[in-house]
Amino acid sequence: MKQRQPFFALPWLRLAFGVSASRTIGVVVFSIIVLMCIFQPIFSPYQANEFVAMAFQPPSWEHPFGTDAVGRDLFVRTWEGGRINLVAAAIVTGFSLILGTTLGTLAGSSRRRWIDSLIMRVVDAVIAFPLVILLLALVVVIGTDRAWGPAPAGLIASMVALMCVMWAGYARMARGQSLAMRESDFVLATRVSGLSNSRIVLRHIAPGVGRITLALAVSDIVLVVTILSSLPFLGAGVQPPAAEWGSIMYEGRGFLRQAWWITLLPGAVVAITGLSLSFVADSLLDSRSKK
């Protein structure tokens, strides 16, 4: 009985939280952030690691986010950092999504019990291990001192570590979904029709599982961004002087009293990115449950 109302007729609260409105807002805000990350460094008169002004300049027209402890322009650094963070987060989430969904669907829809047990025990082991410790251990093992192509030192290690951890969540969710779907009438119908197992899984179970895990992945991008940018605080993660959201904020933490903008403004960008992505994820989940 739920009805679709014209967009502008909504009261402002519905405007902010309604299904189609939250998607629109999320997509618009996120696009702005992505466009800034792409174009700002191209058109900017400064380089990210260039000393352009006095240290600790508060935000001004010249330097909208101010300058940091060594006189680098934070506005440029923030958007430059977005390139690293968002691309890394997208790769990590995409990989975990694909791997986790595949393994989880396999575990959930396989007739052989040992496949299910094997995959799920590995998942349990990964999830049961304290996240931060596991991440740190992996980052240290892989090494943080070498740059790989365009990736600054430490980035690849953090990404690999995150992938090793993140897929497990998707696998668990995918397994639950495909178990539930296996019992449904429409899968029973395909069995009675005599369709092959691979077709049933690929065409009738996997798309339904994918819809759910995809929505989770969109909201997880922000989680990856947050973890990536908190790793520098633990001494791991992307190493300075690379402009990365975490390391920018980390460098500013010592001067919070004198120069709040070093930590707060890039932090605000991270927060807005996260918010816009959860708006999108929210609307994805909503439209799936609507019949």
Partner 1 sequence: MTTSTTPLLTVEGLNVHLGGRDVLHDVGFTIAKGDSLALVGESGSGKTVTARVVTGLIDRINGKVTGGSVKFDGQELVNAGPGTWTALRGKRIALVPQASLSSLDPVMRIGKQLAETIAVLDPGADTGARALELLDQVQMPRPEQILRAFPHELSGGMRQRVMIALALAGRPELVVADEPTTALDVTVQAGILKLLGDLRKETGMTLLMIAHDLAVVKMVSENVAVMRAGRLIEAGPTKTVLTVPVHAYTQALLAARPETSTPGSPLSILDRETGELRSPTATERVATEGKRIVQLDNVSVTYRHAAAPAVAPMSLDIHEGASIGIVGESGSGKTTLGRVIVGALAPSTGEVLVHGKTWKQIRGRNPLRRDVQMIFQDPYGSLTPWRTPRHAVAEVLRRWTDISAPDALDRAGQLLEEVGLPTGVFDKYPAKLSGGQCQRVGIARALASEPRLIVADEPTSSLDISAQAQILNLLMSLRASHGLSLVIVSHDLSVIRHMTDEALVMRHGVIVEHGASTKLFSDPDHEYTRQLVDATPTLA
Interface with partner 1 (CB under 8 A)? 1, 3-4, 184-196, 199, 203-204, 207-208, 211, 291
Rounded CA separation 269/245 (Å)? 9
Q: Shortest Cβ distance from residue 275 to partner 1 (Å)?
A: 28
Minimum CB distance to partner 1 smaller for 11 or for 150: 11
Minimum CB distance to partner 1 smaller for 2 or for 257: 2
Q: Shortest Cβ distance from residue 49 to partner 1 (Å)?
A: 48
Minimum CB distance to partner 1 smaller for 60 or for 287: 287
Q: Shortest Cβ distance from residue 8 to partner 1 (Å)?
A: 15
Minimum CB distance to partner 1 smaller for 188 or for 268: 188
Residue 72 β-bridge partners: 51
Rounded CA separation 266/141 (Å)? 29
Minimum CB distance to partner 1 smaller for 191 or for 253: 191
Q: Shortest Cβ distance from residue 24 to partner 1 (Å)?
A: 20
Q: Shortest Cβ distance from residue 220 to partner 1 (Å)?
A: 23
